[in-house]
Structure 1
Amino acid sequence: MKKINIICVDDEREVLDSVTRDLDYFSEIFNIEECESAIECLELLEELDLQGESVAVIISDHVMPGMSGVDLLTEVECDPRFIGTKKLLLTGLATQADTIRAINEAKLDYFLEKVWDPQELLQMVKELVTEYIIEQGIDYKQYQNKLDGPTIKRLIVE
């Protein structure tokens, strides 16, 4: 069975800790990976690809040293190895132009502003992981207790 990863990217350690704590719900069956920069995330993506693992969701801050979250998510969108990976921008500093670019170039799946509601983040990631699993043709039944039921019903025609 292929390992499924959720990657969280933020240059502020306390924010990264909060996001991963909010996503602890998934930790029994998915890997929750932390990266403190976009460059670190790109290196992790290379490693996961070499190991044959998949990346369901990337949650990224926007304003980070070296490479922005929008640039990171755009690069992921353009990489054929990560077709279908869901992208969530979690930021408080993106301008309208940044957000438009994220939607148009990175094909952003969701946008949340800091400070976020932990339940909204969890629900959105549940929906995105569910979409990823169904769209990739992965047997969702083994993950069903952690997935979003309405999203399964919407995507599965039985």
Structure 2
Amino acid sequence: MEKLYIICVEDQKEVLNTIADQLSYFENQFTIEECETADEAYDLINTIDQKGDKVAVVVSDHVMPGTTGVDFFVKMKLEDRFAGVKKILLTGQATHTDTINAINKAKIDNYIEKPWTKGELIEKVSKLLTRFIIESGIAYEPYTEVLDKQTLFDLLKVR
């Protein structure tokens, strides 16, 4: 069975540790990886893809040195092999234009403003993981413990 990943991208180590700690809720079914830059995350995603595993969700800050979160997501969007990856922009400093670009150009799946709550992050990631699993044709049964039940029901009802 292929490994499924959740990638966290944040240049502030303390914030990155908080995100990863909160997402440890999913660690029995998904591998959680931490990256401090968009370039590091892109390299990791390429490595995961080359191994035949899948990135399910990426949670990225927007304002980082080098490449911004929006530019990182746009770069991912341009590659068909990452089409199914669910993207969450987590930021407190995005401008109105940044937000529009994130939606229109990067096709983000969700936007979370800093500060956020653990419950909010887990809920949004759970819903996106559920969509990823069903849309990818992966058997959902091994993951039901952490999938969003209402989203799962709605998606299965449509099929």
Q: TM-score range by the shorter chain?
A: over 0.9
Deviation digits for residues 103-146 of structure 1 (CA, Å, limit 9, x no counterpart): 00010110011110110010000000000000000000111111
SS at match of 1:7: strand
Equivalent residue number for residue 82 of structure 1: 82
Equivalent residue number for residue 106 of structure 1: 106
- State the TM-score, normalizing by the size of structure 1: 0.98
Cα shift at 1:33: 0.6
Amino acid in the other structure paired with 1:50: Q
Amino acid in the other structure paired with 2:42: L
Equivalent residue number for residue 154 of structure 2: 154
Equivalent residue number for residue 137 of structure 2: 137
Equivalent residue number for residue 20 of structure 1: 20
SS at match of 2:138: coil
Residues paired across the two proteins, number: 158
Equivalent residue number for residue 119 of structure 1: 119
Unaligned 5+ runs, structure 2: none
| Separation in 2, partners of 1:56, 1:49 | 11
| Separation in 2, partners of 1:65, 1:79 | 23
SS at match of 1:145: coil
| Separation in 2, partners of 1:76, 1:59 | 13
Amino acid in the other structure paired with 2:133: I
SS at match of 1:87: strand
| Separation in 1, partners of 2:6, 2:97 | 27
Unaligned 5+ runs, structure 1: none
Equivalent residue number for residue 96 of structure 2: 96
SS at match of 1:146: coil
Amino acid in the other structure paired with 1:129: L
Cα shift at 1:46: 1.1
Amino acid in the other structure paired with 1:6: I
Cα shift at 1:149: 0.4
- Percentage of identical aligned residues: 48
| Separation in 1, partners of 2:143, 2:128 | 13
Provide runs of 4+ in structure 1 moved above 3 Å: none
Cα shift at 1:83: 1.3
